[in-house]
Amino acid sequence: MIISMTGFGKAEGNFGTRRYRVEITSVNNRFLEISMRYPKRLASKEYELKEVMRKKISRGKLNVFIGIDTDSRNEQGGMHDENKIREFHKLAQNINKIIGSKEVVKLRDILELGEFVSLTDESNADEKETEFVSKLIGKAADDLSRMKTMEGKNLEKDMLGRIKSIEKEADRIINLSKKRVKVESERIKKKLESIIAGRKDVDDKRVEMEIVLFADKSEISEELTRLRSHTKFFVDYAKSDELAGRRLNFLIQEMNREINTIASKSSDAVISQKSAFLKEELEKIREQLQNVE
């Protein structure tokens, strides 16, 4: 299964007067890395909230934002909440008592303090609220996963198309290689025969051995067989139900090794050209795999 590490997910929900909003962005990363921004009331619940993400996502760099949009009829701005108004009015009266005046500090002055007087509840979230937020994070993670799956299908289509191209070129190289070895062996044999013609000190078996050694050094059928085996496994893993990113990366490394060997063994210009094409396709797949979970 190919799942992209890039995506975005969100979820919203009401808990009492608070409307929670969760947004998750994900980019590629070698391991799982989670960064969270949240209201102070959730500070003590960070580990618990991150565990929700760990159960849903295995790799990638995740940025999780948890925000609260308070109900305008209650907490937003504070001035539509009768209880808050009473509290601030009482605060103004107490301040006036301390400084010995009746109207130096008015309710309006308290409300204008803004950043110095909290108009929202900064207490820690209880278990019910934490459970609610955890479920909301789970929904956002599911939304993220849907996007990552859709992107993964596009990546799979692109990579499997390139794997198919590699397989076709590998088959062509196999046929070219067989012809090349046969032609070169015959050419070397004739050349040696013309050189040693009439000489009695030359061992015919030695000549045959030299030809066999040349053929062995130029033989790339084993590398091509292994390459085709790797491409088959690549397709199988890409279409399996398990996350395939790490396995596919390993197979790409093995394919690259075989292609390098093929290129170094062959002295044929056409085979060298086709080997270069294989490496180009493989490099494009490698780049795509950097974004696969």
Per residue in 150-193, pLDDT tens? 999 999 999 999 999 999 999 999 888 777 766 666 666 666 66
Quickly list DSSP for 113-142: TGGGS--S--SPP-HHHHHHHHHHHHHHHH
For 226-231, what is the mean pLDDT? 96
What distance in Å separates the CA atoms of residue 84 and residue 81, rounded to the nearest whole number? 5
Q: What is the pLDDT of residue 80?
A: 44
CA-to-CA separations, 9 to 4, 52, 144, 210, in angstroms, rounded: 13, 14, 4, 66
Contact 68, 40 (CB under 8 A): no
Amino acid letter at 184? E
Q: What is the pLDDT of residue 17?
A: 85
User: Residue 129 above 90 pLDDT?
Assistant: yes
State the DSSP code for 4.
B
Helix ranges (DSSP H) in 103-203: 107-112, 127-196
> For a pLDDT cut of 70, what percent of the chain falls above it?
71
Structural domains of the chain sorted by starting position, each given as residue range(s) with its CATH number in brackets: 82-116 (no CATH), 153-289 (1.20.120)
Which of 11 and 81 is assigned the larger pLDDT?
A: 11
Q: What is the pLDDT of residue 247?
A: 95
What distance in Å separates the CA atoms of residue 255 and residue 230, rounded to the nearest whole number? 7
What distance in Å separates the CA atoms of residue 195 and residue 216, rounded to the nearest whole number? 23
Q: Is 103 helix (H, G, I), strand (E, B) or coil?
A: coil
Per residue in 31-75, pLDDT tens? 999 999 999 999 999 999 999 999 999 999 999 999 988 654 444
Neighbours of 114 (CB within 10 A): 11
Helix axes 127-196, 269-289, angle to 10 degrees: 170
> For a pLDDT cut of 90, what percent of the chain falls above it?
56
Q: What is the mean pLDDT of the chain?
A: 82
pTM of the model: 0.68
Amino acid letter at 220? I
Q: What is the pLDDT of residue 170?
A: 92
Query: Which tokens is 162 given?
Result: 């390139």
Instruction: Flag the least confident range among 2-16, 78-92, 270-284.
Output: 78-92
In degrees and rounded to multiples of 5, residue 13 shows phi and psi of: -170, 155
Instruction: Flag the least confident range among 21-35, 77-91, 170-184, 217-231.
Output: 77-91
Contact 220, 258 (CB under 8 A): no
Q: What is the pLDDT of residue 73?
A: 42
Tell me which H or E stretch contains 41: none
Per residue in 255-287, pLDDT tens? 999 999 988 887 778 888 999 999 999 999 999
Reported as a pLDDT band with limits 50, 70 and 90, residue 9 is very high
Tell me which H or E stretch contains 211: helix 204-218
CA-to-CA separations, 63 to 73, 98, 141, 142, 219, in angstroms, rounded: 31, 47, 11, 15, 52
State the DSSP code for 292.
B
